[in-house]
Amino acid sequence: MSAALPMRPKDLALALLVIGVWGVNFAVIKIGIVGVPPMLLGALRFMLAAFPALLLFKAPRVPLRWYLAYGLTISVGQFAFLFSAIHVGMPSGLASLVLQSQSFFTLLLASWWLHERWHAHQMAGLLLALAGLVLIGVAHGAVVSGDSLPLLGFGLTLLAALSWACGNIVTRLVSHYGPMNQLAFVVWASLFPPLPLLLLTWLAHGSAPFNALVTHMEWLTVVSLLFQVYA
């Protein structure tokens, strides 16, 4: 077995950039939901993710049901729950941590759905991650009283993580169709989330948010959307 090659400075810089953008993204989400309801923010996010990018990419040859499955899990499910969690008071920094429980859920789903076998180091990682989540919940009052950390926000973030994990399983199943442009797949899958998210917005708030969106959109909302979609 050949030894692992050292990471080049360029690769390290790009990795750190991704970490920075991902971390800042949660604070940006909190800014965005001040101006519009969380579901509407999600719908706008995926509209911009799809257009005009789909004009630049050819849709991979994958059955339509997998585009729909990916859009409903890792897109609608994850972001509807995550945006709602932050909206009801989940601290954005803790949301970014709790959301990483998706790795825990992914291993569980992969074992059950794909019949993948666990290894000792994976089990150790699962237990460590679970202990960390419990400590976060207890330390901030979510498990005990919900005063410091809203219990609803904590639960919604876990559901977002579960949705992300389901999307990971979909991604694994899609890979069976052979090598493809993953960016193109994500772009075309972004066509599906806006409609259910718009419907959820209307069911929860009626037409008022749509009227407000047309008459006056706050510039912070625009900045939030541009960062989430393009950064």
Q: Judging by beta carbons within 10 Å of its beta carbon (0-12, 13-18, 19+), is residue 122 exposed, middle or buried? A: middle
Q: What is the mean pLDDT of residues 86-111?
A: 87
Among 86-95, 126-135, 209-218, name the one with the lowest average pLDDT: 126-135
Contact 29, 222 (CB under 8 A): no
Confidence of residue 213 (pLDDT cuts 50, 70, 90): confident
When the pLDDT of each residue in the chain is averaged and rounded to a whole number, the result is 88
Q: What is the mean pLDDT of residues 5-34?
A: 90
pLDDT beyond 60 at 154: yes
Tell which residue, 226, 165, 186, has the closest CA to residue 41. 226
Question: Which has the higher per-residue pLDDT, 164 or 216?
Answer: 164
Per-residue pLDDT at 144:
46
Per-residue pLDDT at 25:
92
C-alpha to C-alpha distance for 20 and 107, rounded to whole angstroms: 26
pLDDT beyond 60 at 103: yes
- pTM of the entire predicted model: 0.86
Per-residue pLDDT at 3:
56
Per-residue pLDDT at 47:
96
Q: What is the mean pLDDT of residues 173-181?
A: 90
Per-residue pLDDT at 137:
64
**Measured CA angle at 127 (ends 123, 132), to 5 deg:** 145
Confidence of residue 98 (pLDDT cuts 50, 70, 90): confident
C-alpha to C-alpha distance for 77 and 86, rounded to whole angstroms: 14
